[in-house]
Amino acid sequence: MCGFCGYINYNEKVKDETIIKKMNETLYKRGPDEQKIYIDNNVCLGHNRLSIIDVKYGTQPMSIKKCENIYTIVYNGELYNTLEIKNDLKNKGYTFNNNSDTEVILTAYIEYKEKCVELFNGIFSFVIYDKYNNSIFLARDRLGIKPLFYTVWDNTYIFASEIKALLEHPKVKKIFDKECLLELIGVGPAHTPGKTYFKNIYEIQPGHIGIINKDGLLTYKYWDLETKVCYDNEKTAIEKIHYLVEDSCKRQLISDVGICTMLSGGIDSSILTKIAKDNILDLTTYSIDYLNNDTDFTSNIYQQTKDSDFVKIMVDSLKTNHKTIKIDNSYLFSLLDEALIARDVPGMADIDSSMLAFCKEISKDFKVCISGECSDEIFGGYPWFYRKHLVEHTGFPWALSENLRTNLIKKDILKENDIKDYVKYCISDTLSNVTYIDENDTFENRFKDINYLTIKWFMNTLVERTDRMSMFTSLEVRVPFADHRIFEYVYNLPAKMKLGLNNSNEPIEKYLLRKAFEDEIPNEVLYRKKSPFPKTYSPDYLNLVETKLKTILDNKNSKIYEILNVEYIKNLLNTHGKDLKENLFGQLMTYPQTLAYIIQINNWFEKYNPNILL
């Protein structure tokens, strides 16, 4: 894994290395092993490398000469079908100088041009400079696991793995307008695919490519989830799911450096850890917990059991080298600012900072880690796939918080229903891409709507957290469930099959995945109730965020006075959230995380200092 940046201007030659060096330095933590830049006429490319595959020879930017042309790539990701593509290209007469997937991607582009992305199985974002045509090709993986941002100012096209690198270019202006406000408060910490909380700073959307030439920038969709008829019965579906998950995980165990797994004691991480242990004899596993969580933990509808009990079952079963990382609440709180900088925007508050703390510890011993993320979104693991009031909610089913969000904004900035209308538009626009087999099958069609929304919005928010927090610590996290083959297949299985609905219509979360591995995972873990990423339940943490927010509010010059309803927030603090009827972002962000999100918003305005144009 790595980080890259660059820019091109068709009216100006590059004068020196100053700008690209500054941009590249911001991405150092994504790739501390090697830093390189490339300059040619009006083009600059920068790269920071985290050496995983072909540590010695995979240096970037990497160039290949073909006929009279030179192609140069900067790339972030891992390709899991490198050998197959390499053999195909060898049969076409190409030769290779090293074992890196970087060279394979660049050679595939030379042969297939923009169609090359359709061959790739992996997580990736990359940019290729075509010297002869003086053009730039940008690409991002199908599910958006690896990031790629861009902006255009004064005829300069600027791109990077993270927003912070874009902001180092002197032509970029930091602007926060009403649409940014609707994104930040209306749907945050999620965001509309393609948009950010900065005006005129965008992302290449998952499954999209872009081409920059003298005529401008055009982006195209090369992949999306498509509705297709699937005639497989349950037995066949279970067999195929087992094969796809196992194959995906095995492919992602390839590394020239050590590899470990995150083990939460849930079904997803347990399945991947079992596969990893079958292939890595001396496997190390990691779990996260909080100091005093044994006494502070309170069972609730979303998190009924502690992870630690189930982690122990898996460790005893698989005999892994296990390490439990316990986080102190004051340390968790102290990382809110660092998590903000890692993400460049307000994020999931301590859900981010806890992941950051987790990755910091893992990265002391490993460069590569396997995570069980991206399973719930496709297999139906969240409560909004089957709980009636969530299924029927007209907004985002994980964020029944339109009223809370409206109340958070300073009066008179927006009209009364602006947030609800914006959410309605976002949902409608996203679902315009969904088609149905039977227009009259309301149950299946609603499930498909929720499935698609969850992948495009909710999952995107989680994988952004994982990428930014892990890469900020120079740790590569791989997500085997985010294999497009798994998503394409499971997406088109009937909802009733995925939920395991019987005659009593009682759903079983991720039914097919559980059945696929029922002979390989201890029963207690296999049928454990879905549990979200662990949060702290400590009153000490709540006291820390309340005290910090009060300090911010005591300063009348605090930036949030310009956009937020301070009186409403003060009332929340005075009642300790007892009157709060809505969670900002489902079970992940309740009262403490809502306060921490507001703290991050204030600190974001202070640190990044965008020009507020409301």
| H or E stretch at 490 | helix 484-491
* Radius of gyration, alpha carbons of the chain: 24
Backbone region of residue 309 per phi and psi (left: phi > 0; alpha: psi in -120 to 50; beta: other values): alpha
Burial, 611: exposed, middle or buried (Cβ in 10 Å; 0-12, 13-18, 19+)? exposed
Distance CA 614, CA 180 (A): 10
CA distance 384 to 138: 35
Strand ranges in 470-528 using DSSP code E only, listed in sequence order = 476-478
Cβ(176)–Cβ(601) below 8 Å: no
For 293, the token pair is 């969580």
d(CA 267, CA 372): 8
Distances (CA, A) of 597 to 170, 280, 349: 29, 40, 5
* Nearest by Cα to 163 from 199, 187, 127, 138: 199
The residue behind tokens 């009060």 is: 550
CA 498 to chain centre: 24
Sheet architecture: strand order including 34-40: 34-40, 43-49, 2-9, 156-160, 149-153, 201-203
Distance CA 382, CA 151 (A): 35
Amino acid of residue 533: F
Q: What's the first-to-final CA gap in the chain, in angstroms?
A: 38
Rounded Cα gap, residues 380 and 513, in angstroms = 10
Calpha distance 304→276 (Å, rounded): 28
β-bridge partners, 129: 72, 136
H/E element holding 6?
Answer: strand 2-9
CA-CA distance, 305 to 316, in Å (whole number)?
19
- What residues contact residue 436 under an 8 Å CB cut-off, 6+ apart? 227, 444, 445, 448
**Quick count: other Cβ atoms within 10 Å of Cβ 514?**
20
Number of residues that make up the chain = 614
513: tokens are 């995945």
* Measured distance CA(377)–CA(315) in Å, rounded: 26
- Cβ(122)–Cβ(81) below 8 Å: yes
Half-sphere exposure of 338 (CA within 13 A, CB side): 18
185 touches 419 (CB < 8 A): yes
Nearest to 485 by CA among 267, 292, 223: 223
Decide if 185 contacts 405 (C-beta within 8 A).
Answer: yes
Beta strands in 529-601 (DSSP E): 584-587
Per the structure block, which two tokens stand in for 403?
A: 């009223």
* Residues tagged active-site: 2
Instruction: Say which DSSP state 589 is in.
Output: B
